[in-house]
Structure 1
């Protein structure tokens, strides 16, 4: 796995690595103080959140309106192992969450400033992203001991344009290792087809459809990275993450952009209000 910095902008070598592998690893993009500042802001959001008696569990959310209407809000989703049989949280909220999403970049000033900083604009321009619009942002937790794995998937299955244009920016706020659930990616897998479709059927029902019966035979490579590292992910790249069965947390941030010149189909699961149009890195 090649690792780069943004010292000289996006170089030809970096472009070649991204085109070849389907991902780009940029170390040192976020300095330690900013990692701590962003994590502190996450703690503030958690402190201001009042969990309901039966919170939404990520992984069992497909018909949940709280999830379906989260595209223009900041909402909280729990780990499956963080609720008891009656659906109530069984531990402190700060150690129970799976993620927070999905419009942090537009609704929270701290995350707006971070995701629209110069580094992201330089990367978008250097990788020739066409009219990138910020669509989705998340805090992803991977809680110690209960952090659930994420299966192999392509982001273009979930945030669809034709042709596919979604690009992911994944930022480690803490060290990510095999022990605590780092990213796993299939080298060059972005050169394959879109395998699945995930979206709305008849309005509010979510469904997954297989578009290509083929599979990925290659063994995924672990992307173990230190805190402050950015991983850019091509929208067709098959990637996953393992469980966190360690006693170390693995907080990360994720931003997804799409090409603003392309139609965004109404059957995409993630929607936004008409008065909250997508904006770029300006």
Structure 2
């Protein structure tokens, strides 16, 4: 369970890091699964329903930047999110009834690892209320040099920035020139493997390349209050209800809150993971940094 100080910090800053949630056994098991998944990527050449590949991926030298919906790929990732250790924290932050909105495993290989441009998760999936958060599971130590998540304190109580490109289409990235002050206040979410971060769905964040000689694997889960309904609609109600993790059962009475919203339409021409979506952005901080360093 969280302390009152941790809960207050989440409410104030829009994020917290909680150390020591996972055991060494948990970490070893997840790392073994990840190693197998990377090895299996030797059999593919393009993105598929499980793999999002890094530029430069080959069968001889597999490079994976994301495993899509890992909780559906291996039980170890499903068990972690449903453990009482995690459920207790979620009850403290978003109430007694919530569902799993999605999951992903972002992987940054040593000396590279694709960056993620500045954005708010809320821009990708606005709901009827914003009692929604993302959990980051530190499978590896997170340090300043291996591309940790960077979050801007208090930004979850501010505006929803424009995530559209010059063509008017959603690109999932904010022009860094619009948030110079905010970027200057960003805080790195660092900690030892086994820690977990929790950040609000409207928190402004991004992450740079991995400059270290160590991998940086971050397992992410998106969790929403059961009465938060996606504004883009629910194409499959049965699947939507099946994602309920804890609570009194499904509801068809969304809770409406006075929160700022931008709809992520028109859709990007290149759809897929956030990496594909952000490739359409013309102003990108980390892409420019990578180009300047080359």
Q: SS of the counterpart of 1:133?
A: strand
- In the alignment, structure 1 residue 101 sits paired with structure 2 residue 68: yes
State the partner residue of 1:201. none
- In the alignment, structure 1 residue 41 sits paired with structure 2 residue 33: yes
Residues 147 and 272 (structure 1 numbering): CA distance in 2 closer, same or farther, change over 3 Å?
Answer: farther
Total equivalences in the alignment: 238
- Going by fraction, where is helix more abundant, 1 or 2? 2
- In the alignment, structure 1 residue 181 sits paired with structure 2 residue 147: yes
Residues 105 and 196 (structure 1 numbering): CA distance in 2 closer, same or farther, change over 3 Å?
Answer: farther
State the partner residue of 1:225. 191
Q: SS of the counterpart of 2:65?
A: strand
TM-score for the superposition, normalised by structure 2: 0.72
> For the residues of structure 1 that align with 2:95 and 2:64, how far apart are their CA atoms?
32
> For the residues of structure 2 that align with 1:107 and 1:160, how far apart are their CA atoms?
26
> For the residues of structure 2 that align with 1:48 and 1:76, how far apart are their CA atoms?
10
CA drift of 1:263 comes to: 2.4
**2:52 touches 2:65 (CA, 8 Å); kept in 1?**
yes
> For the residues of structure 1 that align with 2:174 and 2:152, how far apart are their CA atoms?
19
> For the residues of structure 2 that align with 1:186 and 1:124, how far apart are their CA atoms?
21
- In the alignment, structure 1 residue 260 sits paired with structure 2 residue 235: no
CA drift of 1:52 comes to: 3.1
CA drift of 1:107 comes to: 4.9
> For the residues of structure 2 that align with 1:259 and 1:172, how far apart are their CA atoms?
23
Structure 2 unaligned residues grouped into runs of 5+? 247-294
- In the alignment, structure 1 residue 14 sits paired with structure 2 residue 6: yes
**2:123 touches 2:172 (CA, 8 Å); kept in 1?**
no
State the partner residue of 1:3. none
Q: SS of the counterpart of 1:176?
A: coil
- Going by fraction, where is strand more abundant, 1 or 2? 1
Choose which of 79, 104, 109 in structure 2 pairs with 1:143.
Answer: 109
State the partner residue of 1:169. 135
State the partner residue of 2:81. 115
- In the alignment, structure 1 residue 92 sits paired with structure 2 residue 61: yes
CA drift of 1:236 comes to: 0.7
CA drift of 1:260 comes to: 2.5
- In the alignment, structure 1 residue 207 sits paired with structure 2 residue 207: no
> For the residues of structure 2 that align with 1:227 and 1:182, how far apart are their CA atoms?
12
Q: What does the per-residue CA deviation read over 1:25-48, in whole Å, with 9 as the maximum and x for residues that have no partner?
A: 100011122111111122233344
**2:64 touches 2:107 (CA, 8 Å); kept in 1?**
yes
State the partner residue of 1:52. 44
Choose which of 210, 227, 231 in structure 2 pairs with 1:244.
Answer: 210
Deviates more, 1:165-174 or 1:41-50: 41-50
> For the residues of structure 1 that align with 2:133 and 2:78, how far apart are their CA atoms?
18
TM-score for the superposition, normalised by structure 1: 0.75
CA drift of 1:197 comes to: 5.4
State the partner residue of 1:276. 239
Residues 160 and 143 (structure 1 numbering): CA distance in 2 closer, same or farther, change over 3 Å?
Answer: same
> For the residues of structure 1 that align with 2:172 and 2:152, how far apart are their CA atoms?
21
Runs of 4+ in structure 1 deviating by more than 6 angstroms, as ranges, are: 209-213
Residues 207 and 48 (structure 1 numbering): CA distance in 2 closer, same or farther, change over 3 Å?
Answer: same
